Amino acid sequence: ELLKKLQEFGITEIGIAEELGVCQSAVNKIKNGVIKNPSYATVRGIDMLYHRMLSKRALLSSKD
């Protein structure tokens, strides 16, 4: 769910993978449910990236 939301923010699977230090195919497999139990570090990285993008978006909205 968070991966789909990150893509709605405009981040590609490659961009997410680079942020997390994993390959793009792993991001795709997690997003599509092929990998059902990703590592804690990967899940935490996705969560942190999502919240960072959410904060950035909120800051940009408040400046308008």
pLDDT in tens, 4-58: 999 999 999 999 999 999 999 999 999 999 999 999 999 999 999 999 999 988 8
**pTM of this prediction?**
0.85
The alpha carbon of 60 is separated from its chain's Cα centroid by a whole number of angstroms, namely: 19
How far is the C-alpha of 59 from the C-alpha of 54, rounded, in Å? Answer: 9
Closest CA to 35 of 23, 21, 18: 23
For the chain, the C-alpha Rg in angstroms (whole number) is: 12
User: Which alpha helices (H) appear in 9-39, and where do they start and end?
Assistant: 13-20, 24-31
What is the pLDDT at residue 51? Answer: 96
Location of structure tokens 């923010």 = 9
